[in-house]
C-alpha cells in the first residue's frame, strides 16, 4: 500500500504519459487505423457516420486498438492485417459504449453529451448494431476464422457481462465474486481478445497467444477496478473530474462492496437506501465517500487491482526485451498507480 | 386486381396452410433447428435464455430459418450444416426484433407482451447483442467464410435499414422509393441471405445462389408490403387482429404514401397532423382507413407486392420440379393474396 500512498503524490500526467509512450511506438499504425475507422463507418445513411463519428472522435484513448497494434509489433508482425483488426476492436468497443449509454440512460460520455442524448436512444441502439455488423464484415474481409472465433466469442461474453451487470445494479448484496465476473466479462474479455489477436495475426505459437491473452485479461480487470475507484476519488474531484456517476446509477462496484462488507448494520442501511432503493439526497455522495475512506476501501481495491496487474506483468515474461514490452509494462504500472 | 378481390373472399387459413406445407417438407430439420436454438441461447446468466426464450418461443413462424432449410433441400443438400446456419438466421432475426421493440417502445409483440415490456429495455438491448454475437459464433463453428460474408453484410444492411426507417418515421413526405429502400434493407435482405445460404451450403453454382437470393429478396419485399397493408385492413379488424400500430407509431408505409400522393391538400394536412406531429384523436384511425380505402391504396399496394412476388416466382424457374419448389411458389402466392 505504501506504493499507492506515494503515488498519490505523483503528478496526474504520468498515467497518460505511459499510454502516449505506447501510442508513439505504433504511431503510424494509429494514423492508419484512424483513417480506416473513418472510412469504414461510412454509410449511405447520413446519420450513421455522424453519430458514429461523434463517439469515435470524442477523444477516446483508442486503448484497445493500440493494444492490438502493440501486440502485433511485439510479435514481430510485418504485414497490414493488424490495422483492420484493430479497427474491428474499436468498432466493437464503440458499439458496446453506444448500447451502454442507452442502458444506463447516460447524458454524458467523456465530458461531452453522449450520443443518445444528442441523437436519441433509437439511433444509438441501431448505429451500435451497424458498427457491430461492420466489425464482422471487416473480420470477414481479413478472412481469419481464428480471429473471427476470438472476437465473436468475446462479443457474446461482453453482452453476457452487461446483462450480469444489470442484475447486480441496485443490489447492495452483490458479492465480490459476482463483481469480478461482471468486470471480467464486460471489460477484460475485449482487452484479452485485442492483445491476443496481435499474436494470431503474426502466426506466433500458442504460448505467445496465451501470454498476450493473459496480459490483456488481467490488465483489463485492473483497469476496470481502478476506473471504479476513481469514481469515488476525492483527488479526482479536486482535479475537476466528475465523480459519483456509479453511485447515482446504483452500480455496486468494488469500493462499495468492500465498504459494505466492512460496515455496520446502519451503514448497510445507508447503502441499501441509496443504491437499492435509489433514494438519494444531495449529501449522500459525500457520506458514501466518507464511509469508503473510513474502511480503506479505495486503497484495498487498488491492492486488488495490483494483484491483476502483477499477473499481467508476469505474462509478458516470455517475450524478450523490446520497447513495446517496456511500454506495456509501464501501462500496467501506471494503471494500478492512478492516484485517487 | 381481380385476383386480389377474389382472394378477399378466401378463407384466412390458406395463407398459413402454405407455410405449413413448406414447413412439413422440412419437418425433421425444423425440430432439429428448434433444439439447436434452445441449446445455443443457453448462458450462465439466467435472464438471457429466459428473455430469449420468451421471444423465440412466442409463436414465431420460423419463416426465415425455414427458407434456409427449404433452399438447402431444393439444392439437394445432404449434410447437417444447414441446421446451424438456419439457427443463425433466426438468432439474427430475433436480435433485430428485440432491438426493434426497444426502438419502437412497443408493449406488444405477436399478441403477447413484448420482451422489453416484461424484462425492460436494458435487458432487451443486451440480450439482442448476445443473440447477435451467438449467431456469429455459430457461423464461425460452421467455418464458411462465404456464409460469414453474406450474413455479416446482411446484418449491417439491416441496421442501416432500421436507421433509415427512423428518418422516415413521422415524415409524411417520405417517397415511395425511400420506403422501398427501407423495406429492402430492414426486411428483404435477411430473406435473401436466408435463401442464398441454402445454395452456398450445398456448394451449388452461383446461378442457383443468385436465383435463391433473387427469390428471397423479392419475397421479402412483397412480404413486408403486405404486412404494412394488413396494418390498415378492415378484414384484419373483423378477425380480431390488431390494426393501426403503424399509424399510432407514425410509420409512413406504402398504403399511407399512396393515399398521401393521391390526396387533397386537406388530406395531407390530416396525415401531417396525425403522423408527423403525432396529434391523434380516437377517431383518426378510422378516418385514415377511410382515406386509404377511398384512394384504393390497399389494393394498389398489394399490386406492387404482386410485382415483387412475380420476380420471386420467376427466379425459381431454373430449378426442376420439386415439392419444395412448389411449396415456395405457394408461399409467394399466398403472401401476395393475403386478404385485407
Sign of CA dihedral B239, B244, B246, B249: negative
Select from B102, B103, B126 the Cβ nearest to the Cβ of A159: B126
Chain B environment of A120 (Cβ under 8 Å):
166
- Rounded to the nearest 5 percent, the helix, strand and coil shares of chain A are 75, 0, 20
Give the dihedral of Cα atoms B140, B150, B62, B302; nearest 10 deg. 170
- Among the partner-chain residues A48, A140, A156, the one whose CB lies closest to the CB of B152 is A140
Backbone angles phi, psi at B161, to 5 degrees: -65, -40
pLDDT attached to residue B176 = 94
- Residue B238 confidence (pLDDT): 81
Q: Which of A43, A121, A132 would you mutate first to test chain B, the one with the most B CBs within 10 A?
A: A132
Q: How many CB pairs below 8 A link A and B?
A: 143
Q: Which residues of chain B have a CB within 8 Å of the CB of A134? A: 156
Q: Note whether B201 and B82 are within 8 A (CB).
A: yes
Cβ within 8 Å, pair B140-A122: no
Asked whether the predicted pLDDT for residue B93 surpasses 60, the reply is yes
A227 falls within a domain:
yes
CB contacts of B94 in chain A (<8 Å) are: none
* Cell numbers 435482405: residue: B189
Q: How many CB atoms lie within 10 A of CB B203?
A: 13
Q: B149 at the A interface (CB within 8 A)?
A: yes
Please report the pLDDT score of residue B339 as a whole number.
67
What is the predicted pLDDT for the residue at A3? 38
Of chain B, the percentage scoring pLDDT greater than 70 comes to 94
pLDDT tier at A240 (50, 70, 90 boundaries)?
confident
Which residues of A fall within a CB distance of 8 Å from B137? 149, 152-153, 156
Question: Please, how many CA atoms are within 13 Å of residue A223, restricted to the half-sphere of its CB?
Answer: 21
CATH number of the domain that residue A122 is part of: 1.10.600.10
Numbers of helices and strands, H then E, in chain B: 19, 2
pLDDT of B340 reads: 64
Residues of A in contact with B43 (CB under 8 A): 160, 163
Tell me whether residue A4 is in a domain.
Answer: no
Q: How many domains does chain B have?
A: 1
Compute the mean pLDDT over every residue in chain A, rounded to the nearest whole number. 91
d(CA B219, CA A332): 55
Sequence-ordered list of residues with C-beta below 8 angstroms from that of A12, at least 6 positions apart, any chain: A239, A339
Distance from CA of A243 to the nearest CA of B (A): 23
Reply yes or no on whether the pLDDT at A28 is more than 50: yes
- Please list, in sequence order, all residues whose beta carbon lies within 8 angstroms of the beta carbon of residue B260, skipping any fewer than 6 positions away: B172, B267, B268, B271
pLDDT at A11 over 60: no
> Which residues are CB-contacts of B26 (< 8 A; sequence separation ≥ 6)?
B66, B69, B70, B73, B324
Residue B108 backbone phi and psi in degrees, to 5: -125, 150
In this structure, is residue A5 part of a structural domain? Answer: no
Residue A289 in any domain: the answer is: yes
Give me the pLDDT at residue B58, please: 66
**Cα B108 versus chain centre, distance:** 17
Residue B101 pLDDT class (50, 70, 90 cuts): confident
- Partner-chain contact B152 A139, CB within 8 Å: yes
Dist. CA B320–CA B323, nearest whole Å: 10
Query: B66 near B26, Cβ under 8 Å?
Result: yes
The stretch A217-238 carries a mean pLDDT of: 93
Q: Over range B234-249, report the average pLDDT.
A: 86
Contact list, A45 vs chain B (CB under 8 Å): 160, 163-164, 167
Give φ, ψ of A249 to 5 degrees: -85, -5
Residue B173 has a pLDDT of: 94
Summarize pLDDT for B253-304 with one digit per residue, the tens.
Answer: 999 999 999 999 999 999 999 999 999 999 999 999 999 999 999 999 999 9
Instruction: Single out the residue of B166, B161, B167 nearest to residue B105, CA to CA.
Output: B166
Residue A241 pLDDT? 79
> What mean pLDDT is predicted for residues A22-36?
95
Q: Which of A130, A125, A182 is nearest to A159 (CA)?
A: A182
Q: What percent of chain A has pLDDT over 90?
A: 79
Confidence at residue A8, expressed as pLDDT on a 0 to 100 scale: 38
Label residue A1 by pLDDT band (50, 70, 90).
Answer: very low
DSSP string, A136-199: HHHHHHHT-HHHHHHHHHHHHHHHHHHHHHHHHTT-TT--HHHHHHHHIIIIIHHHHHHHHHHH
Give me the pLDDT at residue A58, please. 67
Neighbours of B57 (CB within 10 A): 11
The gap from C-alpha B15 to its chain's centroid, in whole angstroms, comes to: 15
pLDDT band at A145 (very low <50, low <70, confident <90, very high): very high
Q: How far apart are CA B187 and CA B180, in angstroms?
A: 10
What is the C-alpha to C-alpha distance for residues B39 and A95, in angstroms, rounded to an integer? Answer: 26
Confidence of residue A107 (pLDDT cuts 50, 70, 90): confident
Q: Which helix (H) or strand (E) holds A108?
A: strand A108-109
Q: Which helix (H) or strand (E) holds A113?
A: strand A112-113
Question: Is residue B126 less than 8 Å (CB to CB) from chain A?
Answer: yes
What gap in Å lies between CA B294 and CA B312, rounded to an integer? Answer: 30
Q: Residue A157 falls within a domain, yes or no? A: yes
pLDDT above 60: residue B10 = no
B89 inside domain:
yes
Taking the CA of residue B161 and the nearest CA in chain A, the distance in Å comes to 8
Report the pLDDT averaged over residues B116-139: 93
Chain A positions in Cβ-Cβ contact with residue B97 (cut-off 8 Å): none
Nearest CB among B129, B149, B164 relative to A159 is that of B129
- CA dist B54 and B48 (Å) reads 10
- Read off the pLDDT band of A217 (50, 70, 90): very high
- Cell 444509438 locates to A124
Question: Among B163, B190, B197, which would you mutate to test the A interface (most chain A Cβ atoms within 10 Å of its Cβ)?
Answer: B163
Q: Cα separation of B175 and A330, whole Å?
A: 57
pLDDT digits (tens, 9 = 90+) for A273-326: 999 999 999 999 999 999 999 999 999 999 999 999 999 999 999 999 999 999
CB A196 within 8 A of CB A71: yes
> Residue B142 sits in which domain range?
13-336
Segment B187-211, tens digit of pLDDT = 999 999 999 999 999 999 999 999 9
Q: Can you state the percent helix, strand and coil of chain B, rounding each to 5?
A: 75, 0, 20
| Residue A38 in domain | yes
Is A3 inside a domain boundary?
no
Could you tell me which of A217, A192, A219, A208 has the C-alpha nearest to residue A317?
A208
Q: Give the pLDDT of residue A59.
A: 60
Amino acid at each position: 500500500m505504501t506504493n499507492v500512498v506515494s503515488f498519490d503524490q505523483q503528478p496526474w500526467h504520468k498515467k497518460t504519459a505511459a499510454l502516449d509512450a505506447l501510442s508513439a511506438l505504433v504511431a503510424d499504425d494509429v494514423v492508419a487505423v484512424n483513417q480506416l475507422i473513418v472510412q469504414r463507418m461510412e454509410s449511405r445513411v447520413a446519420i450513421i457516420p455522424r453519430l458514429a463519428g461523434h463517439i469515435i472522435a470524442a477523444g477516446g484513448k483508442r486503448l484497445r486498438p493500440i493494444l492490438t497494434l502493440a501486440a502485433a509489433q511485439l510479435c514481430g508482425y510485418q504485414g497490414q492485417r493488424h490495422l483492420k483488426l484493430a479497427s474491428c476492436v474499436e468498432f466493437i468497443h464503440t458499439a458496446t459504449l453506444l448500447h451502454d449509454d442507452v442502458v444506463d440512460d447516460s447524458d454524458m460520455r467523456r465530458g461531452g453529451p453522449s450520443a443518445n442524448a444528442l441523437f436519441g436512444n433509437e439511433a444509438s441502439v441501431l448505429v451500435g448494431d451497424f458498427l457491430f455488423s461492420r466489425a464482422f464484415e471487416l473480420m470477414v474481409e481479413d478472412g481469419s476464422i481464428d480471429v473471427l472465433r476470438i472476437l465473436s466469442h468475446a462479443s457474446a461474453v461482453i453482452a453476457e457481462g452487461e446483462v450480469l451487470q444489470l442484475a447486480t445494479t441496485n443490489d447492495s448484496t452483490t458479492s465480490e465474486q459476482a463483481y469480478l465476473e461482471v468486470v471480467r466479462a464486460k471489460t477484460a474479455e475485449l482487452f484479452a481478445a485485442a492483445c491476443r489477436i496481435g499474436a494470431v495475426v503474426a502466426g506466433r505459437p500458442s504460448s505467445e497467444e496465451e501470454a498476450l491473452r493473459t496480459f490483456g485479461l488481467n490488465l483489463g480487470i485492473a483497469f476496470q477496478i481502478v476506473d471504479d475507484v476513481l469514481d469515488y476519488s476525492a483527488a479526482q474531484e479536486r482535479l475537476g473530474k466528475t465523480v459519483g456517476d456509479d453511485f447515482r446509477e446504483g452500480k455496486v462496484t468494488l469500493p462499495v462492496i468492500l465498504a459494505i462488507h466492512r460496515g455496520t448494520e446502519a451503514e448497510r442501511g445507508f447503502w441499501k437506501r441509496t443504491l437499492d432503493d435509489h433514494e438519494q439526497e444531495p449529501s449522500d455522495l459525500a457520506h458514501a465517500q466518507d464511509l469508503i475512506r473510513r474502511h480503506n476501501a479505495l486503497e484495498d481495491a487498488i491492492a486488488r487491482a495490483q494483484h491483476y496487474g502483477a499477473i499481467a506483468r508476469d505474462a509478458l515474461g516470455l517475450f524478450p526485451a523490446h520497447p513495446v514490452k517496456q511500454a506495456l509494462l509501464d501501462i500496467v504500472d501506471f494503471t494500478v498507480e492512478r492516484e485517487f
